[in-house]
Structure 1
Amino acid sequence: MKKSKLHLLSILILCAIISCKEIPNSGSYDHIKSITSEIDDDKLVNIEKIENEWLTHGGNYQENRYSSLHQINKSTIDSLGLVWSINLGTSRGLEATPLVVDGIMYLTGTWSMVYAIDIRKGEVIWTFDPEVPREYGEKGCCGVVNRGVALYKGKVYLGAFDGRLIAIDAVTGKKEWEVLTVDQNKGYTITGAPRIVKGNVIIGNGGAEYGVRGYITAYDAISGEQQWRFYTVPDNPGNGFESEAMKKAAETWTGEWWKFGGGGTAWDAIVFDPELNQLYIGTGNGSPWNREIRSPGGGDNLYLSSIVSLNPDNGEMIWYYQTTPGESWDYTATQPIILADLEIDNRQRKVLMQAPKNGFFYVIDRTNGDFISGEPFVYTNWAKEIDYQTGRPIESPFARYKDVNAQIAPHPIGGHNWHPMAYNKSTGLVYIPAREGSSWYGQEESFNFEDDGRSWNTGKGWAEDKPSVQDSLIPKTIGKLIAWDPIKQEEVWSVVHQSSYNAGVLTSEDLVFQGTGEGDFVVYDSKTGEKLWDFPLQTGIVAPPITYMVDGLQYVTLVAGWGGGLATWVKYVDQINPGGIYTFAIGGKKSPPTFPKKEPSELINLDLTATQEQIDKGQRLFRRYCSHCHGDGVIPNLSYSRPEIFESFPQIVGDGIFLGNGMPKFNDRLSEQDIDNIKNFIISNAKQQRTKLIGEE
């Protein structure tokens, strides 16, 4: 496109931006009621024909996050700019995919807050607070995050962090009904987005690290009445079985696994094929992770780490495919599932595609669950390859870490986690927000199961009397954006990121959109991976972008804000600015956000008088009760705390004086000496980090 034409287009679009704000009906009661009431089953099934809106979590029932809109393209990308932004005032994780209908946006933030926004004005219409009790935050493995809502017949549906499913009036933001979907005495949480399938709201849950039994439930979208429930792992056989699927599954377990919960929580992937009338869910890891503890006689432990097809009318299982039999590494199969029709070996196949944590990219026949292909998309050593005759992994000798301490790849965070991938119908490529990495696995010498729903129970430890197996081929821990050919099962191009924790993706015909852990929003050429455009948002981005059109203008929106398992790496501790919502269009002229300059954080440097035994005890307690938030988690690294924090340490940890901020109290579980040991471990760890940094200088 010539520069003069491009300039004219920019002027016309900028005029459209200005005129959008002059529509008096936008955001009114009648407007919102009309547009949200029209979202029904027929509209959701035919959403790809609508193009202009983003009405369901993955963009459509295929969940491919592909848009045919092309106003923003390679020729116009230089004129893409910020139209408006809204600061949500939180430095905790923002992971939501927004939904959009005719210029009205719905999305979630921390503590399951819901926001309705008028896109034309860039203003919040209403906010809904489900009032999640702050002490419930300790049950979350990876922050008090939420990945989005569902829309149907004038209602917004929220899966709240504390396990409630809530229907909200889309116009007023008032609660219409709620139903408790979990036993709140156990470690259940909800962070995933609900889906609407044939008049029902489908919702799963999380909490496998806390000793729970996974399941997924369908509720009538109008009344909230439960329609069916599918458990992902069996209960005590002495209590009978809920279904034939559970009876079959029990044959693959040994011991008394039900005392540990079993796991298998379905906390993210939920995809519906209306043509086949099949609902596909991804199930999670074992509880505890280590099969030697939960199922000491071995076994596949169905239906852990599996893709399961259900009849959406009654919840009965149709077929399953297990990606990681006998799961022992936190290799969930809850990662996003994409439906597509591919020509493979001169034959048209209806497939589903998934890149789960275990590092293999799978193409499965979605009609019957037959394995088609599976190849590693990141460095993987727990399994050598997939046996194409059986569809089962061929494990490495050290993979089960029964007699060794082994360095195993991928890391428990996974070769790919919840961050959505996208499938481009034009290029035929899948774009995966991936990571390379590894972790040490060993037998926990004194596994102590506590069925309190308030502490981690992984069974992964370090056996002092076992030899170590270290893999010299494991690459440096990095994040990557990978363009993957699902037919040839090979990488076409990739981009290496500084952080290993980056955002989900969106794709259009010639573009790929992704945010980075360093805080940049970037657009790439979909065929080559060439960077075409970027915009600094100055806080880590993990949520995926969406695109839509309002009044003839194409927008791109994403939320920025650190969240998830690697949010406070020491390297990025000073980059956690408040998160917010950012909306872009051709002709946008707003400047990047500005935040007060922070003084560089310094490692705490306090005198230490504790014995090594006390420090070691503190380390074990820290790993059990603190590390999932304060280690690699979403709360600032305690090694960088201010001295006064340690002066009030017993009151903070024991008495809960920061309970309102989500910091639980532990005086019912930890003695004064325990709390002191944890404090001393943190101080000791900071000294070690300081020594290491001085050595590196």
Structure 2
Amino acid sequence: MVSREHPSRGGSGRQVRTAGSRLARLLAAALALSPVAARAADVTAERIIGLEKGGDQWLSHGRGYAEQRYVPLDQINDRNVNQLGLAFSLDFDTDRGFEATPLVADGVLYASMAWSQVVAIDARTGKILWHYDPQVDRAKGNDLCCDAVNRGVALWGDKVFVGTVDGRLVALDRGTGKVVWQQQTFDPSKPYTITGAPRVVKGKVVIGNGGAEFGVRGFFSAYDADTGKLVWRFYTVPGDPAKPYEHPELEMAAKTWKGDDYWKKYGGGGTVWDSMAYDPELDLLYVGTGNGSPWNRDIRSPGGGDNLFLSSILAIKPDTGRLAWYYQVTPGDAWDFTATQQMILADLEIDGATRKVLMQAPKNGFFYVLDRQTGKLISAEKFGKVTWAERIDLSTGRPVEAPGVRYEDKPIVMWPSPFGAHNWMSMSFNPKTGLVYIPYQEVPGVYRNEKDFTFVPHSFNTATGFSDFTEMPRDLVSGALVAWDPVRQKAAWRVPYPYIWNGGTLTTAGNLVFQGTAEGRFLAYAADSGKTLWEFPGRDGIVAAPVSYALDGQQYVAVLTGWAGAAVMFGGEAMQAPRTGLKNRLLVFKVGGTAKLEEPTDSAAVRQPPNLRRDRQQASADTIARGSLLYHSNCSRCHGVSLKTTGRTPDLRQSSDDVRGAFSDIVLKGVLQAAGMPSFAGRLTQADVSAIKAYVVDTEQKALAPAQNAAAPAAKP
């Protein structure tokens, strides 16, 4: 691979223009008022390791290598947190969600935003120091599962690293935001994407990717932090058996797969789109892998098999990229039960002995405690409602599955769902309380065996009847913050929430746990008891995790707002929490803070009812039904299930007459591609587009019926 400067690209959408222009104005003002700062100290392994013992910065995605998200600061504590106030806020003119964990080093806060943009902010004042826009072609949004988000950057030496949606790993100068080097990490013609945060271990930047539902083969790679040169690559599923395996672990993995389509047609999946952790003493890098492609094993690997290394925790030697051990969380995954959820490293007292453990609460609903040196399972228990398996057999490490759970012969309703009992939203571990704080969610999954499944490239392929999941009864959906005792393997306390998809957690030495919610509340709880101690109306939903840092003897807590992700795109109305506005912000708090937010946008203005139209539906019921299937296969992950959008993308029921008239040109010719609406030419025909339009019009008219009836004049007696 050759390092190159990224050429400028035209056609930036509204989000980039508005965000870029605002950031440019703020940057110019900041530079006019501020002297040039001295070069910051390099971020090194010693500095990151030192955070485990103390320190007031946040240098890696989970703060330190162990990913505990615990801050040993107690200036803000359970006695004075009720005095916490807004120190400053920063608004961003973007129309996609924020999922990033900010990093803080030497007085500067670094955050990634939608479409892989990066911003550096003065962590004391909120002034923007620089802004980087990789100018991602918005057509790449066609390959995104769950919004054009980014979960964070990495710091090493004098550089900031970010993975872009279109697959570039970019090294930026920490002081200026200028590109130092960049590498294309995957074939851009294939439906891979990057939304996860890189990690840097021993001078190597490790990055994975997503795209399993779209038909790709998972892998993760390590690049030299100084030069961008590829050092090693680990594939998570085997490829063409007629060719030599890229590394020896794949020969073992190939024995657990059946048939040829997994590599020839479907890619196999196993993408590494989020979780990593590192133990510098054992010199092991831990990597979580994703689901199969497609989800349904009966289609992906007819005849069964564990399908290594799907849904697994891998311990990797970072110098060579070779496997030290693995543990498969969900053998033969058929439910989108990824193991890409956060892993936490800690030393726990278990049965009278100190054990070096790795803890994970993946989608499948079991909380795992592993010996991180050997990979041996120590314990595993359900941390929520789980019906797909009775228990984990500690002698084999395998789940004892419930009868019929693989839905080969008939559909099944089970818990958890593809949303997971816990998804990517970060949990945290407090060594003082000994508890892990998990963003738990409860929603059932509906699965059926699509025996007539047809794979569609660059589309969402599950072979499980995923569209059956769209209309979920409201009373079956809920969330919670669960404080879990990993030694006793049981909940210590639990705070219920009415909605799922609540934010990641942060815990501190001040006996506090912070979390944002889907409704836009930002809360502080007592870490030992779960008592609610403080609340701030963040207004837009919060799915990102908070961080805490200290500067000049002052402790701060920071969080990004802007609801995003799978529940927003796929969740249906039952999962859409009410919010008082749609504003992406950075919120930073301190004791005694007095800053104020602008008045919220009226929630009614966010979701206006469709405009009355003169045109009436002329299509047949069969055409409308076909349009519904096509819409949910191709459009719903951006425009909402049953057209119930969350406000992040246009509500098609409210399209102007001009837009409705240009429907075909928009969908097939890509005339709004610069605004983030890709062309579907080659995937949809004119007849398909007409059917989708018929479904949109029909849905609009049904939504209007109550209002039309109310407006109709009363019949004369």
Shift of 1:694: 12
CA distance in 1, matches of 2:706, 2:315: 50
Q: Which residue number corresponds to residue 77 of structure 1?
A: 81
CA distance in 1, matches of 2:706, 2:249: 53
**2:275 counterpart of 1:269:** yes
AA of the residue aligned to 2:336: D
**2:242 counterpart of 1:238:** yes
Q: Which residue number corresponds to residue 633 of structure 2?
A: 624
Judge conservation of contact 2:519–2:579 (CA < 8 Å) in 1: no
Judge conservation of contact 2:581–2:600 (CA < 8 Å) in 1: no
Judge conservation of contact 2:141–2:148 (CA < 8 Å) in 1: yes
Shift of 1:595: 3.6
Going from structure 1 to structure 2, the CA distance change for 1:649 and 1:552 (only over 3 Å counts) comes to: same
CA distance in 1, matches of 2:706, 2:662: 28
**2:669 counterpart of 1:662:** no
CA distance in 2, matches of 1:88, 1:545: 17
Partner of 1:137: helix, strand, or coil?
Answer: helix
CA distance in 1, matches of 2:225, 2:55: 25
CA distance in 1, matches of 2:498, 2:71: 28
CA distance in 2, matches of 1:170, 1:560: 24
After superposition, give the CA deviation of every residue in 1:359-383 in whole Å (9 maximum; x if it has no partner). Answer: 1111111111111111111211111
Shift of 1:594: 2.3
Q: Which residue number corresponds to residue 10 of structure 2?
A: none
Partner of 1:34: helix, strand, or coil?
Answer: coil
Going from structure 1 to structure 2, the CA distance change for 1:86 and 1:189 (only over 3 Å counts) comes to: same
Judge conservation of contact 1:537–1:593 (CA < 8 Å) in 2: no
Q: Which residue number corresponds to residue 564 of structure 1?
A: 565
**2:499 counterpart of 1:494:** no
Judge conservation of contact 2:522–2:537 (CA < 8 Å) in 1: yes
Which piece of structure 1 moves more, 606-615 or 140-149? Answer: 606-615
Judge conservation of contact 1:116–1:124 (CA < 8 Å) in 2: yes
Q: Which residue number corresponds to residue 313 of structure 2?
A: 307
Which piece of structure 1 moves more, 52-61 or 634-643? Answer: 634-643
Q: Which residue number corresponds to residue 506 of structure 2?
A: 506
Judge conservation of contact 1:211–1:261 (CA < 8 Å) in 2: yes
Which piece of structure 1 moves more, 272-281 or 606-615? Answer: 606-615
Match of 1:332 among 319, 335, 338: 338
Shift of 1:447: 1.4
Partner of 2:40: helix, strand, or coil?
Answer: helix
**2:325 counterpart of 1:322:** no
Shift of 1:28: 5.1
CA distance in 1, matches of 2:112, 2:666: 29
**2:75 counterpart of 1:61:** no
Going from structure 1 to structure 2, the CA distance change for 1:693 and 1:297 (only over 3 Å counts) comes to: farther
5 Å matches for 1:542-557? 542-557=543-558
Judge conservation of contact 2:370–2:378 (CA < 8 Å) in 1: yes
Going from structure 1 to structure 2, the CA distance change for 1:693 and 1:308 (only over 3 Å counts) comes to: farther
Shift of 1:438: 1.0
Which piece of structure 1 moves more, 108-117 or 621-630? Answer: 621-630
AA of the residue aligned to 2:674: G
AA of the residue aligned to 2:90: I
CA distance in 1, matches of 2:437, 2:228: 36
* Unmatched runs of 5 consecutive residues or more in structure 1: 1-22
Partner of 1:48: helix, strand, or coil?
Answer: coil
Judge conservation of contact 2:284–2:315 (CA < 8 Å) in 1: yes
5 Å matches for 1:13-24? none
After superposition, give the CA deviation of every residue in 1:419-450 in whole Å (9 maximum; x if it has no partner). Answer: 00000111111000110011211122431223
Match of 1:680 among 678, 691, 694: 694
CA distance in 1, matches of 2:40, 2:466: 59
Going from structure 1 to structure 2, the CA distance change for 1:236 and 1:524 (only over 3 Å counts) comes to: same
After superposition, give the CA deviation of every residue in 1:54-76 in whole Å (9 maximum; x if it has no partner). Answer: 01100111100001100000111
Q: Which residue number corresponds to residue 6 of structure 1?
A: none
Shift of 1:631: 2.7
**2:371 counterpart of 1:362:** no
CA distance in 1, matches of 2:701, 2:50: 59
Partner of 1:238: helix, strand, or coil?
Answer: coil
Judge conservation of contact 2:150–2:196 (CA < 8 Å) in 1: yes
Match of 2:121 among 117, 120, 123: 117
Which piece of structure 1 moves more, 51-60 or 613-622? Answer: 613-622
Going from structure 1 to structure 2, the CA distance change for 1:462 and 1:46 (only over 3 Å counts) comes to: closer
Going from structure 1 to structure 2, the CA distance change for 1:130 and 1:70 (only over 3 Å counts) comes to: same
Going from structure 1 to structure 2, the CA distance change for 1:383 and 1:580 (only over 3 Å counts) comes to: same
Judge conservation of contact 1:445–1:463 (CA < 8 Å) in 2: no
CA distance in 1, matches of 2:499, 2:97: 16
Q: Which residue number corresponds to residue 18 of structure 2?
A: none
Partner of 2:128: helix, strand, or coil?
Answer: strand
Which piece of structure 1 moves more, 510-519 or 618-627? Answer: 618-627
CA distance in 1, matches of 2:52, 2:401: 41
Q: Which residue number corresponds to residue 646 of structure 1?
A: 660
Partner of 1:558: helix, strand, or coil?
Answer: strand
CA distance in 2, matches of 1:357, 1:199: 31
Shift of 1:264: 0.2
Going from structure 1 to structure 2, the CA distance change for 1:689 and 1:405 (only over 3 Å counts) comes to: farther
AA of the residue aligned to 2:286: Y
Shift of 1:46: 2.0
After superposition, give the CA deviation of every residue in 1:209-252 in whole Å (9 maximum; x if it has no partner). Answer: 11000111110000111111111110011112112210000000
**2:395 counterpart of 1:394:** no
Match of 2:452 among 440, 446, 453: 446
Going from structure 1 to structure 2, the CA distance change for 1:30 and 1:462 (only over 3 Å counts) comes to: closer
CA distance in 2, matches of 1:692, 1:166: 52
Judge conservation of contact 1:574–1:601 (CA < 8 Å) in 2: no
Match of 1:154 among 140, 154, 158: 158
Partner of 1:523: helix, strand, or coil?
Answer: strand
Judge conservation of contact 1:443–1:462 (CA < 8 Å) in 2: no
AA of the residue aligned to 1:562: W
CA distance in 2, matches of 1:523, 1:410: 27
CA distance in 2, matches of 1:101, 1:448: 49
TM-score where L is the length of structure 1: 0.91
5 Å matches for 1:202-221? 202-221=206-225
Judge conservation of contact 1:561–1:576 (CA < 8 Å) in 2: no
AA of the residue aligned to 1:434: Y
Judge conservation of contact 1:149–1:194 (CA < 8 Å) in 2: yes
Q: Which residue number corresponds to residue 44 of structure 1?
A: 48
AA of the residue aligned to 1:487: V
- The alignment covers a number of residue pairs equal to 662
5 Å matches for 1:476-625? 476-509=476-509, 510-567=511-568, 570=573, 571-572=576-577, 575-597=580-602, 598-599=604-605, 600-603=607-610, 607-625=616-634
Judge conservation of contact 1:105–1:118 (CA < 8 Å) in 2: yes
Q: Which residue number corresponds to residue 8 of structure 1?
A: none
5 Å matches for 1:98-177? 98-177=102-181
Going from structure 1 to structure 2, the CA distance change for 1:604 and 1:440 (only over 3 Å counts) comes to: farther
Judge conservation of contact 1:445–1:462 (CA < 8 Å) in 2: no
After superposition, give the CA deviation of every residue in 1:241-273 in whole Å (9 maximum; x if it has no partner). Answer: 112210000000000110210000011011110
AA of the residue aligned to 2:622: E
TM-score where L is the length of structure 2: 0.88
Judge conservation of contact 2:581–2:601 (CA < 8 Å) in 1: no
**2:463 counterpart of 1:459:** yes
Going from structure 1 to structure 2, the CA distance change for 1:530 and 1:690 (only over 3 Å counts) comes to: farther
After superposition, give the CA deviation of every residue in 1:106-138 in whole Å (9 maximum; x if it has no partner). Answer: 110001010000122210011001111111111
CA distance in 2, matches of 1:604, 1:396: 49
Partner of 2:558: helix, strand, or coil?
Answer: strand
AA of the residue aligned to 1:162: D
Please give the root-mean-square deviation of Cα atoms over the aligned residues, in Å.
Answer: 2.5
